[in-house]
Amino acid sequence: MSGLEVSAAIGTLIVQVAQTRGVDPKALAAATGFDPALGRDPDARIPLALETKLWDEASRRSGDDAFGLHAAELLRPGAFDVLDYAVRTAPDLRTALERLARYNRLVHDAAVFRIGAPRDGLVRVEHGFRTGAARPGRHASEFTIASLITIGSQIAQAPIRAHAVAFHHGRPSEAVVAEHRRFFGLEPRFAESMNAIVFDVATLERPVPAADPALSRIVERHAEGLLAARPEPQSAVADRVRSALTPLLASGDASLKTVAAKLKMNTRTLQRKLADEGVTFDAIVDELRRDLAERYLADPRIAISEVAYLLGFSEPSPFHRAFKRWTGMSPSEARGRAA
């Protein structure tokens, strides 16, 4: 498999939603390189980079800067074939989430869900990419988190609400934030370390009124068979780059050329492989620095100035600016919150 892939059904959904927004589906497909015929094959896959391109181009052509959020509102049963039915036939909402986390690889090589243990009556569900370096784009992130509300409300046959919502991307326009408030009933936090949604335990324990135990078992067995037949994604190049970069940051030699040499490939090949996975070398460096910065700042034994050098910054001031861009906080404010 060359690069990470996703179900072509995701591309079909994006094109269909864009059409409801007045976008010519043929023009959108031509502009992105998406083959609409793939939508008729439930096993067809497309590159992760193409999925990202479709989200961005659909938003641009429709003039809808909250495209992902609005796409989630239009979800109907069957959009994602077996995964969809495995989720919708669960006996309660927590089991539906657990099935989503287990079977999501049927439609997406990169995306993973992590369901936290109950704490103070709340459960946190996180969403990200298994590569650890690449991250889903804004529209894909907002679609995914919002879809948990849409599908949960549909199968519960009653509106469900989130206790909190967080996104890794920066704060969008005020018009988009207003759409989030309308949809979620609250304002999400932005520029967080992970996409996440928090539910009350009581919400997740709510039984599904139309649950059919026999049908649920049949669908689950089918999903297990498909999952067993689908190989685990190969170790992503982004993962390998991240591993190679970690010890290089402090030495100040975290360059594309150095990393490519460590991975025994030329720089053009490395850049192409990363593009296939929907990420760039600079984005991996930036994301790795952010992740390590948060980890180092949580340790009061490491001085903030030392954190800057450990991350490969020549002096503290560029680190302070970068951290402010990542989180909206200064390093000292972040350390205070972690204390």
Tens digits of residue pLDDT in 68-99: 999 999 999 989 999 999 999 999 999 999 99
Residues 90 and 211 in one domain: yes
Show which of 229, 255, 284 is a domain's final residue.
Answer: 229
Question: CA-to-CA distance for 311 and 307, rounded, in angstroms?
Answer: 6
Q: Which domain holds residue 277?
A: 237-338
Residue 166: strand pairing partners: 189, 196
Residues 195 and 267 in one domain: no
pLDDT at position 200 over 90: yes
Residues 116 and 251 in one domain: no
The whole-number average pLDDT for the span 296-306 is: 87
The number of distinct structural domains making up the chain is 2
Q: Report the mean per-residue pLDDT for the chain.
A: 90
- CA-based angle 247:251:254, to the nearest 5? 70
The whole-number average pLDDT for the span 95-123 is: 93
Residues 245 and 109 in one domain: no
Comparing CA positions, the residue from 3, 74, 10, 19 lying closest to residue 38 is 10
Residues 262 and 315 in one domain: yes
Whether the model pTM is above 0.95: no
Residues 71 and 217 in one domain: yes
Residue 17 lies in a domain: no
CA distances from 233 to 129, 273, 277 (A): 12, 14, 12
Residues 122 and 246 in one domain: no
Residues 112 and 197 in one domain: yes
What's the pLDDT band for 294 if we cut at 50, 70, 90? confident
What's the pLDDT band for 131 if we cut at 50, 70, 90? low
Return the higher-pLDDT residue of 253 and 205: 205
Residue 44 lies in a domain: no
